[in-house]
Amino acid sequence: MKKITVFFVCLFMTGVSVFGFQNTEIDYDAIYKIKDEGLNNSQVMDIAWNLTDRIGPRLTGSEGLKRAYDWTSAEMKEWGLSNVKVEAWGEFGPGWGVKKSYLAMTAPYYQALIGIPKAWTPGTDGEIEAEVVYVNIQNESDLAKYKGKLAGKVVMLPTTASAETTFEADARRLTDEQLDGMMSARVSNANRQFSARRVSDFRRRAQLRNAAYQLFKDEGVKMVLATNRGGQGTFFTSNGARRDPNALPEMEISPEHYNRLVRLAVKGEPIRIEADTKTVFQREDLKGYNVLGEIPGSDPKLKDEVVMLGAHLDSWFAGTGATDNAAGSAVMMEVMRILKESKIPLKRTVRVALWSGEEQGLYGSRNYVQNTFMKNGKPNSAHEKFSAYYNMDNGTGAVRGIYLQSNEAVRPIFQEWFKAFEDMGASTVTIRNTGGTDHQAFDGIGLPGFQFIQDPIDYGTRTHHSNMDVFERLQAADLRKNAVIIATMVMQTANMDEKMPRKPKVFESLNRSR
Amino acid sequence: MKKITVFFVCLFMTGVSVFGFQNTEIDYDAIYKIKDEGLNNSQVMDIAWNLTDRIGPRLTGSEGLKRAYDWTSAEMKEWGLSNVKVEAWGEFGPGWGVKKSYLAMTAPYYQALIGIPKAWTPGTDGEIEAEVVYVNIQNESDLAKYKGKLAGKVVMLPTTASAETTFEADARRLTDEQLDGMMSARVSNANRQFSARRVSDFRRRAQLRNAAYQLFKDEGVKMVLATNRGGQGTFFTSNGARRDPNALPEMEISPEHYNRLVRLAVKGEPIRIEADTKTVFQREDLKGYNVLGEIPGSDPKLKDEVVMLGAHLDSWFAGTGATDNAAGSAVMMEVMRILKESKIPLKRTVRVALWSGEEQGLYGSRNYVQNTFMKNGKPNSAHEKFSAYYNMDNGTGAVRGIYLQSNEAVRPIFQEWFKAFEDMGASTVTIRNTGGTDHQAFDGIGLPGFQFIQDPIDYGTRTHHSNMDVFERLQAADLRKNAVIIATMVMQTANMDEKMPRKPKVFESLNRSR
């Protein structure tokens, strides 16, 4: 086994502490085995196919996610992973799913409309046929104009969504310039600042929508139509995160179809629609679950310490959640398969987690870290024995590097490890934070949690919460590569001399809170 | 009125004849008026909106096209055009339209599928629910495997359609290099050459499909599913040009949805669908019509001579035929409005034609030219008195120049005229032919028929015969510009000293055939 040992001094450009020397041996023999298994015998696309085409959409609480719990845990057991379990993290609430989705304009002429019921809304209870009313409100006083006029109607509100022709490619990769910019970035504030004006505008619009929605209920509206961004047959869903038990039937439709109805209404053309939607609520099991599996540590002294990796298994439901996040789930499962199959000794225990409830607020991971690493609001011994968590949830694109999540102490370690992947285009280590997914659950309780820089491909333009987040959008070569890189990161973390350095600031605040 | 007179000698690089001197006065005063009306008071987008959003799809023989006949002819009358008429060109056959279009996968899980009944196919006669069978045939002997197994099933055949992620923009404009290449091109052969191998492959596949289709009918298949190219929610229709009166119910669906079914079937997953489609055949009026309107010539000696412009008003039906060809129809109508409104004297009579049956084989224009310019297979006096025809049917993109359609004698005239539009990016005159639309009807009987070079925008990638050929895809600035350029071409043609030169070769062959 050839090893190259590198010693270095941690230099803190933004902090004051010095942790001192840290061993970051790069295990090129192990990497060779990982590359061989991950590139020449990859199963990542087969895993991803099962999660998407075969299992389908995986909304938290749905039949689809239940199938995914069953299948992923069965696979992990078949691969010989240890302690495989589908573990409840707490109560999520009722599950929901679509059983029929049909909507068409019938006047001034027939046009089937591309759309889907909004999450956690009821169906139409059989086919309905109704006039469409465009409720053109700019402020609450406008609502009075519609009182007594909406019973039995289908309503639409003004939208800013458009679907302009684009002269830019849907999909792209990060350029060298963009990566250089990330490399040289300083610590960023993870919270974007919104102007007071913007916040008050947002509140005003939300209030107006709520007032309109109340009017619709009071009036006895049959259905609400809505739209979001998208175009050319792609539509993004807003996802009805509220899970309002008294919601009206509502459909989210493609912007071109929505805006055609709006334009016709504004010109005074009578519009009628027919719709037949059926949705089901699952109330038998209100709990949410995570799927867990392990490769036990081989070093008697270190096997109680844990390195984790994960991705969320749940998805939205208009597509099959291919890039969000069958991609991450498939890669993390493949990482475990590669590590198990290649029989590389791992000193620390390696544990994979496939989360649920991520799309509603990182519920699976946030509850897991509370249940596992905290007791009465304070870190427990498992917190002490934890090294690092790696997450993948930035779509299908190739890993190009990693976000340090403001943890400067980790920079030299990751810089060293990524040297093994310069030929794969992955070498950018940025101090920046990235948010919006499950590594934040770990970061939030002072544990090192990381997520990777990935090529965006068409995540923002086509797939992220859209009806077209489907198998075709997965980039096979990228996912194979990602599994190899992440398997290496996990292997190195499992076998390094010390646990992963933590952020000093978080330690201090945790110490203060004891 | 300021005029710049330019004389030049026609040089034939590819032919032998010399027509001699030709007057091509550029009437800058008239162009100023045209630009003023066409750019500052444009109605082209309003016309296009009526044709798309309000009137809807305009398949030949359908209710939609009937509405378009009525509305366009009424508009032309309102503008004060002369001899406005909706004129039958001959028998087209039954019209057809969609009255209900619903399709969903119900097992292994629910997924509404994006699609539409294939043109001129019957509906399902109420809701059907059936198993899907993937008929994986590579040659006719494979069909025997499916005998006795397809009764009551929904069937799918293998497809080469995929929907890969694209790293190129949907929409683009022609580059200077591309335009330079067209400018310096030599006379091209309009007929693309296919290798004998390719032709025989094509025939073999067509025979196989026909044999499979016969089996499906014999077996009592409930519905056929098919797909074409597309992606991300866009699907292109194949358009069932055959109009087979014994067709099975058939739907064309988006490639991602189709290929998901295929992948599931290949892996042995049982698939079920439910569908409810209704189509109607219109058999009361089997005739096809063109809409015509004129501005009579102002010169007593030349008013019997005619300059024509046109575009096809019919469309396919999955979208609203916005770029194919509400764009062209709206521009040509706007040209007439501009010429009428700006009161520029036009020596020759200018006649606009909005064709139908173009999508089934240029029926409207081909029949019109036979009915109007030919008698007993020979050119009549109207043929003699005809100058030129201008067509627009290359989508929504800006005019960048014109195809000479191998008529070298016209090059110096058009080159001179396009000098007025260099500031609009339109100056390319190419000897090349372009095909596939109504100018060919004129060209085919020896009359000068031209079509413009246009920026492709997203015609090939998103709109040409797709469900997403809708109002949003129209480029307003381009259509305004096109109306100005084409109005100028028509004005110049109406007022030039001589009629437009014709192709010598065609004259010869016509003379020989007398």
What single-letter amino acid sits at B384?
E
Q: What is the pLDDT of residues B431-460, one digit of tens each?
A: 999 999 999 999 999 999 999 999 999 999
- Model pTM score: 0.93
**Which residues make beta-bridge pairs with B279?**
B98
Task: Tell me: pLDDT of B411 over 50.
Answer: yes
Please state, in angstroms and rounded to a whole number, the distance separating the CA atoms of residues A112 and B114: 9
Of the partner residues A99, A110, A470, the one whose CB lies closest to the CB of residue B99: A110
Taking only the tens place, the pLDDT of each residue in B472-483 is 999 999 999 999
pLDDT at position A514, please?
35
Considering only residues 468 to 507 of chain A, which have any Cβ-Cβ distance to chain B shorter than 8 Å? 468, 470-473, 475
The pLDDT tens digits for A399-423 are 999 999 999 999 999 999 999 999 9
- At A155, the amino acid letter reads V
Question: CA-CA distance, B162 to B235, in Å (whole number)?
Answer: 11
User: What is the distance between the alpha carbons of residues B233 and B212, in angstroms, rounded to a whole number?
Assistant: 28
Pairing assessment for the beta strands B154-156 and B128-134 based on DSSP bridges: parallel
The answer to whether A317 touches A466, Cβ cutoff 8 Å, is no
Which A-chain residues 340-379 have CB contacts (< 8 A) with chain B?
none
| pLDDT grade for B354, boundaries at 50, 70 and 90 | very high
pLDDT at A241: 62
Q: Which of A19-23, A447-451, B284-288 has the lowest mean pLDDT?
A: A19-23
Positive or negative torsion for Cα B289, B295, B301, B306 = negative
pLDDT in tens, A244-256: 888 999 999 999 9
Q: Give CA–CA dist B157/B151, Å, rounded.
A: 16
Reading the block at residue B437, the tokens are 């639309």
**Chain A touched by B259 (CB under 8 Å):** yes
A234 and B231 within 8 Å at the Cβ level: the answer is no
B462 CB neighbours in chain A (<8 A) are: 165, 232
Q: Which two tokens stand for residue A43?
A: 């199963």
Taking the Cβ of residue A261 and every Cβ of chain B, the question of whether any pair is shorter than 8 Å is answered with no
Q: Quick one: CATH architecture of A3-93+285-395+462-498?
A: 3-Layer(aba) Sandwich (3.40)
Closest CB to A54 among B108, B230, B255: B108
Q: pLDDT tens digits for B194-242? A: 788 888 988 998 999 999 999 999 999 999 999 999 999 999 999 766 7
List chain A residues with CB under 8 Å of B172.
Answer: 167
pLDDT at B13 over 50: no
Polymer length in residues for chain B: 514
- Given B53, B114, B457, which is nearest A233 (Cβ)? B114
pLDDT per position as a tens digit, A311-347: 999 999 999 999 999 999 999 999 999 999 999 999 9
The pLDDT value given to residue B1: 38
Read off the pLDDT of each residue in A294-301 and give the average, rounded to a whole number: 98
First to last CA, chain A: 45
B-interface mutation test, from A51, A232, A278, most B Cβ less than 10 A away: A232
Q: What is the pLDDT at residue A20?
A: 42
Q: Is A260 on the interface with B (CB under 8 A)?
A: yes
Q: Return the amino acid letter for B497.
A: D
Question: Can you give the pLDDT at residue B193?
Answer: 66
End-to-end CA distance of chain B: 44
Residue B108 with chain A: CB contacts under 8 Å: 54, 56
> What amino acid occupies position B492?
Q
The pair of structure tokens assigned to B242 is 């055959």
pLDDT of residue A505: 59
- CA geometry: angle A86, A90, A91, nearest 5 deg: 115
State the complex-level ipTM: 0.93
From A83's Cα to the closest Cα of chain B, the distance in A is 30
Shortest distance between the Cα of A167 and any Cα of chain B, in A, equals 5
Q: Which residues of B touch A168 (CB under 8 A)?
A: 169
What is the structure's pLDDT at A196? 87
Contact status, residue B356 vs residue B364, Cβ threshold 8 Å:
yes
Express each pLDDT in A22-64 by its tens digit. Answer: 557 899 999 999 999 999 999 999 999 999 999 999 999 999 9
- Token digits of residue B465: 């015969």
CA distance A418 to A421: 5
Q: What is the pLDDT of residues B295-324, one digit of tens each?
A: 999 999 999 999 999 999 999 999 999 999
A59 and B CB contact within 8 Å: no
What would the pLDDT profile of B89-141 be if each residue is shown by its tens digit? 999 999 999 999 999 999 999 999 999 999 999 999 999 999 999 999 999 89
pLDDT of residue B196: 87
d(C-alpha B506, C-alpha B445), whole Å: 8
- DSSP class of residue B176 equals H
Do A233 and B467 make contact, defined as CB atoms within 8 angstroms? yes
Cβ of A468 and B232 within 8 Å?
yes
Structure tokens, A73: 């845990």
Q: Could you tell me the residue ranges of all domains in chain A?
A: 3-93+285-395+462-498, 95-282
Tell me if B225 sits within 8 A of B200, measured CB to CB.
no
In DSSP terms, B181 is beta-bridged to none
What is the three-class DSSP state of A367? helix
CATH fold of A95-282? Glucose Oxidase; domain 1 (3.50.30)
Nearest CA to B133 among B256, B275, B249, B272?
B272
| Mean pLDDT (whole number) for A264-285 | 97
Given an 8 Å threshold on Cβ–Cβ distance, is A260 in contact with B97? no
Does the pLDDT of residue A473 top 60, yes or no? Answer: yes
Separation CA B58–CA A447 (nearest Å): 62
Q: Which residues pair with B251 in a beta bridge?
A: B117, B225
Residue of chain B minimizing CA distance to A470: B256
CB of B349 within 8 A of CB of B305? yes
| DSSP assigned state of B232 | T
Q: Give me the sheet containing A111-112, strands edge to edge.
A: A111-112, A95-107, A272-282, A128-134, A154-156, A223-227, A250-253, A115-117
Determine whether A477 is exposed, middle or buried from the number of CB atoms within 10 Å of its CB (0-12, 13-18, 19+). exposed
How much is the pLDDT for B240? 65
pLDDT at site A194:
74
Q: What is the 3-state secondary structure (H, E, C) of A409-469?
A: HHHHHHHHHHHHHHHHCCCEEECCCCCCCCHHHHHCCCCCEEEEEECCECHHHHHCCECCC
* B391 CB neighbour count, 10 Å cutoff: 30
pLDDT tens-place string over residues A162-211: 999 989 999 999 999 999 999 998 865 555 567 888 889 889 989 999 99
Chain B, residues 443-462, CB within 8 A of chain A, namely 457-458, 462
Tokens at residue B171, please?
A: 């929409």
What number is the average pLDDT over the span B243-270?
95
Q: Which fold has domain B3-93+284-513?
A: Aminopeptidase (3.40.630)
Amino acid sitting at position A8: F
Q: Which of A169, A170, A233 sits opposite B254 (nearest CB)?
A: A233
Per CB-CB distance under 8 Å, the chain B contacts of A468 are 232-233, 256
Which residues from B are below 8 Å from A167, CB to CB?
169-173
Q: Does A129 touch chain B (CB under 8 A)?
A: no
Contact criterion met (CB < 8 Å) for B53 and A264: yes
From chain B, pick out residues whose CB is under 8 angstroms from the CB of A229.
Answer: none
**Minimum Cα–Cα distance from A165: chain B residue:** B473
What integer best gives the mean pLDDT of chain A? Answer: 92
Instruction: Count interface pairs A-B at CB distance under 8 A.
Output: 151
Q: Which residues of B touch A123 (CB under 8 A)?
A: none
Q: Which residue has the tokens 């649920």?
A: A356
Pairing of strands B95-107, B111-112: antiparallel
Strands B154-156 and B223-227: parallel
